[in-house]
Amino acid sequence: MQHDALAPRYVRNFSCTGSKCPDNCCHTWQVAIDAETYRGYRTNPAVIPLVEDKIAENRDLTTKDTIPGYFKMDPKTNRCSLQDTSGLCQLVKNFGPNALCQTCTTYPRSIQQLGEDLLITLSDSCPVAAKSLITQPDALELDFAPVAIPPNPYASGVDVPNAFNARYQLLQGLITLLRHREQSLEMRLFICGLLIQKVQPLIEANQEDKLEETLGLFYSLVEEGYFEEQAIELNKKSDGSLGLVILNTLRREHQQQHTAFNEELTRALKGLNITAKIPLGTEHLNQLDKARKKYLTNLEKKQPHALENLVVNWLLGSLFPMKSENLMDGWTNLMARYLLLRTLLSAIGAEQKKLDTQDLIRISYRFGRGVSHSKILNTLIVELIGRNLNNTAAFSLALNP
Ligand code: SF4
């Protein structure tokens, strides 16, 4: 089915590789079944024999109406019990793709109704999507045109608290600034943080005209190189408090249910010689800094668009200026995610004594899975709030633009 939608280029080119996928999505996660499909599984006489002992009822009364059940996992393999030995889904094999529930049919797409437009992005937790983001410089080129959508997809409405037009304008402004490739990604993130701080009161007061003026001013200041001087001043003050909070979160959250993500966390901790017994200190931050320069910065020179594409994709997927009542909360989420991934990549580089494009794809999609199915990001955000590090000044010091 084709549908007119706003979508980045890599969404239009996406095709699930199914049984050839390097790490398919039918394991570890508990797949929620939507109400209509669940009813069909329980009442269709042709389907019942295949699914009856492979689906479990949701006993949580608060979510039961929208998610009446889940697919069971095979306890030996932790894979979906409907997957056959060759990795194919038995529902698709026997009844075609229309037999899938909304979660399976939609993943890795995120389909959101934004005003009049449908916006479609992909989750970087899918290895094929992560590969496109990392290897294709133009993956995030946005177009409004027909996009292939699978049958029975899940589409969510975007609840915009106020100032729809101003927020939409800000979203476009942030994407423009983040894609200004003449500057380092850190510098672009630094500038976006300053912009968000500046426009928060304008959004609250729904001052669309002033927002446009401020965006125009920021674009010209970027062209004039105005922010470079501020960044030089900041570099002198740089402290490691936010870096230590991230390392501490990695250490505390190291035992994850998601095996592949846990493997990456273990590598990262080993790369920086972090153990449960040794107190974290400046020497760990120095090692991290060296690893970042030696491995991640080198890789960024070869793939300058890779981390930018991931960040812009998170921005589009979360639609944060559209959804967040408080802009700084949405920005904190994105910055915490970025700094966590940057730390992981640098530390894993130190452990492997290399970091190449394949590593970046593997770590990014595993990070995407781990972050969406663990508390690690929330734990980090709570820590940042508790230590008053959820603000532009603290992020700027950690970015070291
Ligand atoms: S992870 Fe992506 S490519 Fe792999 S099976 Fe799932 S949707 Fe397809």
Q: What is the whole-number distance in angstroms between the Cα of residue 366 and the centre of ligand 1?
A: 13
Q: What is the whole-number distance in angstroms between the Cα of residue 395 and the centre of ligand 1?
A: 34
Q: Whose CA is nearest to atom 3 of ligand 1?
A: 16
Q: What is the whole-number distance in angstroms between the Cα of residue 70 and the centre of ligand 1?
A: 19
Q: Whose CA is nearest to atom 6 of ligand 1?
A: 25
Q: What is the mean pLDDT of residues 309-334?
A: 93
Q: What is the whole-number distance in angstroms between the Cα of residue 199 and the centre of ligand 1?
A: 39
pLDDT at site 401: 67
Sheet of 117-122: strand order equals 142-148, 2-8, 117-122, 109-114, 155-157
CB atoms within 10 A of CB 225: 10
| pLDDT-wise least confident of 44-48, 82-86, 185-189, 198-202 | 82-86
pLDDT at site 399: 86
CA 305-318-298 angle, to 5 degrees, is 20
Ligand 1 site, CB within 6 A? 16-18, 21, 24-25, 107-108, 126-128
Return mean pLDDT, the chain.
Answer: 92
The string of pLDDT tens digits covering residues 186-217 is 999 999 999 999 999 999 998 989 999 999 99
Tokens of 289: 């800094």
| Atom of ligand 1 minimally distant from the CA of 107 | 7
234 class by beta-carbon count within 10 Å (0-12 exposed, 13-18 middle, 19+ buried): middle
Q: What is the mean pLDDT of residues 68-96?
A: 91
pLDDT at site 400: 78
Q: Whose CA is nearest to atom 8 of ligand 1?
A: 16
- Residue 85 — very low, low, confident or very high, per pLDDT cuts 50/70/90? confident
Q: Whose CA is nearest to atom 4 of ligand 1?
A: 24
More confident residue, 248 or 152: 248
pLDDT above 70 for 110:
yes
Mutate which of 14, 16, 109 to test ligand 1's pocket (most atoms within 8 Å of Cβ)? 16
Q: How far apart are CA 177 and CA 149, in angstroms?
A: 30
First to last CA, the chain: 45
The string of pLDDT tens digits covering residues 240-271 is 889 999 999 999 988 767 889 999 999 999 99
Tokens of 141: 């080129």
Could you tell me the residue ranges of all domains in the chain? Answer: 2-157, 164-232, 239-399
In the chain, the amino acid numbered 12 is R
CA 257-289-134 angle, to 5 degrees, is 60
Q: What is the mean pLDDT of residues 140-163?
A: 90
- Residue 236 — very low, low, confident or very high, per pLDDT cuts 50/70/90? low
Q: How far apart are CA 389 and CA 398, in angstroms?
A: 10
Q: Which pTM value belongs to this model?
A: 0.93
Mutate which of 92, 128, 361 to test ligand 1's pocket (most atoms within 8 Å of Cβ)? 128
